[in-house]
Amino acid sequence: MQLFRQFMNQSGAWGSIVAAMGCASCFPALGSIAAALGLGFLAQFEGLFINTLLPIMASIVIAIQVFQFAVYTCWKRLIAGITGPAFVLLTLYPLWSYGWSTYLFYLGLILMMAVAIWEIVHPAYKFCVKSEVS
């Protein structure tokens, strides 16, 4: 069971990173870094990453954050973990037609990346109090 929890803790973080790297052409700086790392071939799959993979990963990240909250009861991690994916999902579906939604989308991606790095550096199972429900 501990291995499953550790996998759940890390999979959302890695999924966010993969989805963000897939849309390297969205960010000029990220695109140049990805091209330097040999990931420039991913630009042809940008539509697939944005329209399919990113919403799936955002939904998985929200589910994993809720699971982590049920196990570890860390409010800070829950709020930080679901804010970015919620911004991405809101932007991709109901708010896409507004001009300011692009900024909300980029903010959501940046938050997903930041929380993903935070989850890798400081995993919840090491720093949060475990609840009795587990």
- Say what the alpha-carbon torsion angle 18, 64, 115, 78 is, to the nearest 10 degrees: 160
| In the predicted structure, residue 60 carries a pLDDT above the cut 50 | yes
pLDDT of residue 47: 75
| In the predicted structure, residue 9 carries a pLDDT above the cut 80 | no
Residue with tokens 């973080």: 13
26 part of a folded domain: yes
The Cα 53–Cα 62 span in angstroms is 14
pLDDT band at 13 (very low <50, low <70, confident <90, very high): low
Residue, of 71 and 26, whose pLDDT is higher: 71
Q: For the full predicted model, state whether its pTM sits above 0.75.
A: no
Residue, of 49 and 8, whose pLDDT is higher: 49
132 part of a folded domain: no
Which residues span the domain enclosing 36? 2-127
Number of folded domains that form the chain: 1
134 part of a folded domain: no
Helix ranges restricted to H, the chain: 2-22, 28-36, 46-48, 54-72, 75-92, 101-121, 124-127
Q: Is 80 helix (H, G, I), strand (E, B) or coil?
A: helix
| In the predicted structure, residue 22 carries a pLDDT above the cut 60 | no
Q: Is 14 helix (H, G, I), strand (E, B) or coil?
A: helix
CB 64 within 8 A of CB 27: no
- The whole-number average pLDDT for the span 100-110 is 86
Q: What are phi and psi of 90, to 5 degrees?
A: -65, -40
pLDDT of residue 74: 77
pLDDT of residue 134: 47
